[in-house]
Each structure stands twice: as C-alpha cells, then as structure tokens.
C-alpha cells in the first residue's frame, strides 16, 4: 500500500518531540495505525531514539575517518526502513543536544551581562554618592568661608540674652520666625503671636549693635504679627540680631545670618 502522506519525516519528528497539537497528533495516530510504512518508520525511530539515548557517548564516539554507514552498523539487523528511522531519530537527538549546548553559552553571556549591568549600576551609585558627598563638603567649606570675618562675630551682649532665652510670656505667646541661626537669602519675614494688645517696637541690628531697621507694631490681642523686611536693607552678609520690646522692657531677642547672593 502506497503512502501519500506528505512530510512524513517532519511529522514523525514533531510527534516524537511532542511538538504537534492535540488535533494533529490524533490525525497522525489515526493514519499510522492504518499505514504500515508510517507505522514501521515511527517504531524504528522510537527504537533508535531509545538506543541513542541509552548508549549516549558510546554510540557517538565516531572517528573522523568513519563513514555514515558506521552508524547503521550499530543495528545490522534493522530493515532499510528501520535504518532510516534510526538515522532520523539520531538527527533529532543531535539537534536537541546541539540546541541545549548552544544555548548554554548564551545563558552564560546573559548572566554575565546582568552581572556587569548590576556592577555598573553599583559603581554609578558609589560615584553618585561620592559626588554628593564632595558637593556637601564643598558647600560646607564655602559656608564656613562665608561666615568668617568681623560681620559674623557674635555680640556677647545679645548672645547672653539669647542663651538665657529671654521672652516675656505675658506679652508674647509664640515666636515663629526667623529661627535662631537660620541662614536667609531673600526678604526676611518676622512672625510672632501676641498675647496682649500692647504696642511694641521691632528692631533689626548688625552685630555691632547698629540699628538698620525699626517699626512700631500695634497688635490686636491674640493676633499673629507678620513684618517683612526687604533684602535690600541688608547691604552686607553677616550676623544680625532682632528684638521685640515695649516701652518698659525687652520682650524677645533672636539672631539670624543674612547671605548676599553673588
């Protein structure tokens, strides 16, 4: 009986490798049960694949001088159809082995690439950290240089007031800004909350006690006072003091640094 099945070898290969769909496998099985040629070749291929798998390296230690016939000499009792099936199965196994071995270097290369990328990222993070640390050190050095000179020398008289935390709790409820030792670059906001309806005087002074700004404030009881002093008032970078006082006493003394932008 003549077999009209096309691509028989390809179908057998895919069938043995489980690469056919369920529907394709079913059609092929229905065919080879009724076709002796396909049935014989399939069984021969299965036998050959089993032998090759078991024999392993012994079956493939073929010297360069041996011919293709040496493979068939391993199974001299096979028919021509069986030999074809065996050769076909051998090719399948060789292809599988080649694919596995050929992919391993790629996997190693991919792993090496991943490791290299991770190392590169780690080095970049270290470099970034060093850069940020260097910038911080440079900024601190510049700041120390900026805060040197007579304009930044603390005034002992006002420092004593600040250290003693002088504040009249009866008149001033809370001082909000500027905080002591804060570094300012733009217009300066003075903000505090009054507890009583008492007229007060806000003054800003250099560390030499020279007054550069003053303003009378007439607050409402329990009101928040906000007074803005233009940055143009501060002609030089330096340490400045500010105080709030009424007609009887000093109510609060604070300090801040004003830095002129270059």
pTM score, whole prediction:
0.47
Q: Pick the closest to residue 82 from 123, 57, 114, 50 (CA basis).
A: 50
Give SS3 for 202. strand
Backbone angles phi, psi at 228, to 5 degrees: -105, 130
Contact 108/68 with Cβ under 8 angstroms?
no
pLDDT (0 to 100) of residue 96:
60
Mean pLDDT of 189-203: 92
Q: What is the pLDDT of residues 97-117, one digit of tens each?
A: 656 555 555 555 566 767 777
Average pLDDT for the chain = 77
Q: What is the mean pLDDT of residues 4-10?
A: 76
Q: Which residue has the higher pLDDT, 261 or 175?
A: 175
In the chain the domains, ranked by start, together with CATH numbers, are 1-146 (no CATH), 151-258 (2.60.40.2550)
The pLDDT value given to residue 258: 96
Mind listing the pLDDT tens digit for each residue in 146-193?
A: 677 899 999 999 999 898 876 666 788 899 999 999 999 999 999 999
């Amino acid at each position: 009986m003549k077999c009209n099945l096309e691509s028989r070898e390809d179908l057998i290969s895919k069938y043995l490798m489980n690469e056919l769909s369920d529907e394709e496998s079913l059609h092929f099985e229905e065919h080879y049960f009724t076709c002796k040629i396909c049935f014989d070749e399939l069984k021969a291929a299965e036998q050959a694949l089993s032998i090759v798998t078991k024999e392993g390296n012994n079956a493939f230690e073929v010297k360069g001088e041996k011919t293709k016939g040496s493979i068939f000499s391993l199974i001299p009792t096979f028919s021509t159809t069986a030999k074809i099936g065996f050769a076909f199965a051998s090719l399948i196994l060789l292809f599988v082995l080649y694919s596995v071995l050929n992919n391993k270097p790629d996997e190693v290369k991919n792993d090496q690439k991943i490791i290299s990328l991770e190392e590169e990222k780690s080095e970049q993070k270290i470099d970034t950290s060093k850069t940020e640390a260097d910038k911080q050190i440079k900024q601190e050095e510049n700041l120390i240089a900026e805060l040197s000179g007579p304009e930044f020398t603390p005034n002992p008289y006002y420092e004593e007031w600040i250290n003693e935390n002088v504040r009249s709790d009866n008149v001033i409820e809370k001082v909000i800004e500027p905080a002591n030792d804060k570094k300012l670059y733009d217009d300066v906001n003075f903000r505090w909350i009054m507890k009583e309806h008492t007229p007060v005087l806000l003054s800003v002074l250099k560390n030499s006690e020279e007054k550069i700004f003053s303003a009378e404030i007439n607050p409402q009881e329990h009101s928040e006072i906000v007074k803005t002093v233009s940055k143009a008032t501060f002609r030089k970078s330096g340490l400045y003091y500010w105080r709030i006082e009424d007609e009887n006493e000093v109510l609060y003394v604070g300090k801040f640094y004003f830095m002129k932008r270059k």
